């Protein structure tokens, strides 16, 4: 009998373990942990997503979870400069951008169950302590915090009915912030039985230009750090700028006690969508399933179908027939991760049209100081996108860009904030409302064309100051949006915003030719705008980039790129 089976048979009062869920079956679900060593930014989420996809392609049900060390309850208040974009799930959870990577690779909608922070875990422990569940005992990191982490993983296994749960431990091994997650990983392997758990260490092989060769010492020390915490890696993935040599793999193997064939190289590639093929060539997916005794569950027919579809995507990415330059105007242009989903959505649409997109980043803060430079900045683009954002900085520069492309009939796509800025531009320059403004930009403005609606103010008073997550959108027939969404009158997209088009101004905007082709069902909340006189001038209050997938590009991006090609 495994240690977990022994624990499950008891009352649940064991001092060092949390109660095991009654519906839990020992060994039914397998667990694959991915840890990062040496440095941050290695791409643990991308690697774990790609590996999970190769396993899913074989007919094995998988689900991921990202465990973050910070004390925030979610990612909603994190600055894009520091942490990349905030990705929003359909259920409204604001989370790490890696959840977007998992959704895109696995083509699945995830939930709050697939995301955990230290803040969430500690809150659950404190709530239980206040409710008297630890009477007579002092609440501690071990067993209570680690127990809560293990309970979350097992509950995810039950809810998802997954064969394998892929767990990504955020941060870098050695950080204080993630120690409790690492300890919980070790305990879970002990309780579940090592045959049901695989540990993967992602490390980095440096290649100093002055030496002209790869060096493994930093990787060795990083791996040694994780072994110090009681985690013996079963597989080591070596990130590097160029293909990892066998000499380096041999050194890592000897130092870490990991078989040579389970030390794989992950060098830089032109697209993250090439990584599943690299994993298959290294036979990492085969090694993983052998270790978990899952080889008898492989569906070879399904795998061949999925590989064929994915290869078509790769072929389109690697062999574009044409190139386009698309301008993206924003204020976080120095940090590409701030627009990760947007960049990926453009990749999906470009692969669909078999083209290559070159992105021109335009800092609208500069255009505010020198609006006359707008024409020069946009002279070489085939279309522009104004993405989501918050605050006043760069707003007037964005409006100048929108005015230029509207007048020059250059394709435009506005996302969330870009939707609102397009309304302001139209109100000022076409409807001749010179003081048209957004409450976000000027709280005391007289002409509040963009405002917080009364309904939203009530919500804000209760503490939830955003419309978040998946919402239905009612699409007007015989509009551009209607055609783009395959003649559907109802679609579902994801939102993250506070401000809306003020209903008082809608009649005047429509009178001058602006069409609101999408709205909230039963509410005067405008969600899609278009200008029929232009070949493509569309804005969405939602974030279509959050629902775009490699093999299923979002319709708005497909239509935008098609217009740019024409």
The single-letter DSSP state of residue 145 is I
Label residues 261-282 b or e (16+ Cβ within 10 Å = b).
ebbbbbeeeeebbbbbbbbbeb
Rg (CA), the chain: 26
Whether 455 is catalytic: no
Return the residue matching tokens 């103010």: 457
Cis amide bond preceding 458, omega within 30:
no
Q: Which residue has the tokens 């997209």?
A: 493
Q: Is 95 a catalytic residue?
A: no
φ/ψ (deg, to 5) at 132: 80, 15
Residue with tokens 């230029």: 404
Which residue out of 144, 180, 348, 543 is catalytically annotated? 543
User: CA-CA distance, 395 to 384, in Å (whole number)?
Assistant: 15
Alpha-carbon distance 549 to 101, whole Å? 10
Alpha-carbon distance 102 to 110, whole Å?
8
* Residues 439/442/445/448 CA torsion (nearest 10 deg): -30
Chain-centroid distance of CA 549 in Å reads 11
Contact between 118 and 66 (Cβ < 8 Å): no
Q: Annotated catalytic residue: which of 94, 168, 192, 545?
A: 545
Helix axes 340-352, 300-318, angle to 10 degrees: 90
Cα separation, 433 vs 452, whole angstroms: 19
Which CA distances in Å does 285 have to 50, 277, 295? 10, 10, 10
Q: Which residues of 315-344 are buried (b: 16+ CB within 10 A; e: fewer)?
A: ebbeeeeeebebbbbbbbbebeebbbbbbb
Please report how many Cα atoms fall inside a 13 Å half-sphere around the Cα of residue 240, on the Cβ side.
23
Question: Is 511 an annotated catalytic residue?
Answer: no
Helix or strand run (H / E) with residue 190: helix 179-192
- Residue 409's nearest CA partner among 561, 537, 558 is 537
Residue 128 DSSP SS3: helix
CA 152, CA 159: separation in Å to the nearest integer? 10
Tokens standing for residue 52? 């999970």
Phi/psi at 520 (5° precision):
-75, 135
Query: Could you tell me if 514 and 508 are in contact, meaning their C-beta atoms sit under 8 angstroms apart?
Result: no
Spot the catalytic one: 238, 416, 431, 564: 416
Cβ neighbours of residue 93 under 8 Å, at least 6 residues apart? Answer: 74, 111, 112, 115, 469
- H or E element, residue 500: strand 500-501
Q: What does the alpha-carbon distance between residue 538 and residue 259 come to, in Å, rounded to a whole number?
A: 55
How many CA atoms within 13 Å lie on the side-chain side of 548? 25
Residue numbers annotated as active site? 416, 543, 545
């Amino acid at each position: 009998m495994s240690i977990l089976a022994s624990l499950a048979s008891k009352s649940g009062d064991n001092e060092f373990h949390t109660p095991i869920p009654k519906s839990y079956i020992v060994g039914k679900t397998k667990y694959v942990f991915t840890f990062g060593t040496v440095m941050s930014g290695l791409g643990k989420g991308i690697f774990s997503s790609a590996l999970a996809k190769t396993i899913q392609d074989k007919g094995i049900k998988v689900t991921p979870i990202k465990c973050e060390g910070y004390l925030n309850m979610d990612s909603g208040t994190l600055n894009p400069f520091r942490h990349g974009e905030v990705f929003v799930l359909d259920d409204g959870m604001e989370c790490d951008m890696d959840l977007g990577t998992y959704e895109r690779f696995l083509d699945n909608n995830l939930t709050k169950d697939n995301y955990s922070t230290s803040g969430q875990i500690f809150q659950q422990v404190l709530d239980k302590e206040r409710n008297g569940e630890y009477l007579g005992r002092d609440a501690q990191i071990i067993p209570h915090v680690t127990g809560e982490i293990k309970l979350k993983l097992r509950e995810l296994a039950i809810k998802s009915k997954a064969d394998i749960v892929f767990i990504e431990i955020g941060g870098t091994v050695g950080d204080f912030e993630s120690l409790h997650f690492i300890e919980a990983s070790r305990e879970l392997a002990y309780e579940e039985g090592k045959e049901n758990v695989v540990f993967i260490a992602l490390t980095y092989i440096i290649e100093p230009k002055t030496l002209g060769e790869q060096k493994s010492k930093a990787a060795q020390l990083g791996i040694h750090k994780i072994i110090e915490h009681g985690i013996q890696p079963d597989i080591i993935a070596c990130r590097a700028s160029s293909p990892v040599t066998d000499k380096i793999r041999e050194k890592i193997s000897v130092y870490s006690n990991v078989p040579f064939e389970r030390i794989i190289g992950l060098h830089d590639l032109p697209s993250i969508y090439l990584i599943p093929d690299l994993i298959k060539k290294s036979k990492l997916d085969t090694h993983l399933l052998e270790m978990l005794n899952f080889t008898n569950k492989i569906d070879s027919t399904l795998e061949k179908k999925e590989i064929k579809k994915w290869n078509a995507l790769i072929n389109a990415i690697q062999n574009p027939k044409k190139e386009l330059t698309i301008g993206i105007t924003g204020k976080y242009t120095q940090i590409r991760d701030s627009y990760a989903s947007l960049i990926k959505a453009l990749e999906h649409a470009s692969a669909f049209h078999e083209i290559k997109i070159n992105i021109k980043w335009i800092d609208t803060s500069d255009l505010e100081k020198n609006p006359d430079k707008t024409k020069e900045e946009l002279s070489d683009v085939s279309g522009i996108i104004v993405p989501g954002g918050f605050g006043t900085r760069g707003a007037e520069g964005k409006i100048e860009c929108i005015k230029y492309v509207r007048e020059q009939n250059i394709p435009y796509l506005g996302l969330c904030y870009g939707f609102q800025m397009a309304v302001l531009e139209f109100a000022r320059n076409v409807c001749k409302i010179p003081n048209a403004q957004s409450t976000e930009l000027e709280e005391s403005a007289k002409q509040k064309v963009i405002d917080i609606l009364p309904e939203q103010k009530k919500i804000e008073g209760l503490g939830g100051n955003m419309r978040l997550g998946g919402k239905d959108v009612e699409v007007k027939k015989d509009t551009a949006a209607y055609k783009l969404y395959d003649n559907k009158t109802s679609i579902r997209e994801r939102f993250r915003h506070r401000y809306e088009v003020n209903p008082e101004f809608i009649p005047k905007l429509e009178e001058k030719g602006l069409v609101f082709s999408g709205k909230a069902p039963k509410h005067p909340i405008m969600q899609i705008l278009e200008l029929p006189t232009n070949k493509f001038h569309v804005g969405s209050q939602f974030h279509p980039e959050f629902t775009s997938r490699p093999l299923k590009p979002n319709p708005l991006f497909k239509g935008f790129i098609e217009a740019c090609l024409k």
